[in-house]
Amino acid sequence: MPPGTAPGHTPALTPEPPSRWRAVRTSVIAVVALVTAAVVTGPVTPPAQAAAAEPVSGFATVELVHVYNNYYRDSSYGIASTYEAGVPAEGDYFHSVNNPGRVDFSGDLGRLVERNNILVACNHPIETRGSVTEPRTYYPYTADPPADVPAVVQAGAGVGKIGY
Looking at the domain assignment, is residue 158 inside a domain? no
CA torsion, ordered 77, 47, 153, 151, to nearest 10 deg: -90
Looking at the domain assignment, is residue 153 inside a domain? no
pLDDT tens track of the chain, all 164 residues? 444 444 444 444 334 444 433 433 333 322 322 222 333 333 332 222 233 333 344 445 688 999 999 999 999 989 999 889 999 999 999 999 999 999 987 788 999 999 999 999 999 999 999 999 999 999 999 999 999 999 999 888 888 776 65
Looking at the domain assignment, is residue 71 inside a domain? yes
Specify the pairing of strand 111-115 against strand 86-90: parallel
Residue 144 has a pLDDT of 95
Spell out the residues 6+ positions from residue 2 whose beta carbon is closer than 8 angstroms to its own: 14, 17, 18, 21, 164
Looking at the domain assignment, is residue 66 inside a domain? yes
Residue 63 has a pLDDT of 84
Specify the pairing of strand 86-90 against strand 67-68: parallel
| Alpha carbon 14 to its chain's center | 15
Where would I find the H helices in the chain? Answer: 19-26, 149-156
**Residue 162: beta bridge partners?**
none
Looking at the domain assignment, is residue 42 inside a domain? yes
The helix (H) or strand (E) run that includes residue 73 is strand 71-80
Residue 33 has a pLDDT of 29
Looking at the domain assignment, is residue 1 inside a domain? no
What is each CA distance from 47 to 42, 53, 102, in whole angstroms? 7, 19, 18
Looking at the domain assignment, is residue 96 inside a domain? yes
Segments forming the whole domain that contains residue 97: 14-49+61-145
What's the total number of domains in the chain?
A: 1
Instruction: Evaluate if pTM is beyond 0.85.
Output: no
Residue 163 has a pLDDT of 61
Looking at the domain assignment, is residue 128 inside a domain? yes
Residue 31 has a pLDDT of 32
Residue 160 has a pLDDT of 79
Going by C-alpha positions, the residue among 155, 45, 151, 12 that lies closest to residue 93 is 151
Spell out the residues 6+ positions from residue 151 whose beta carbon is closer than 8 angstroms to its own: none
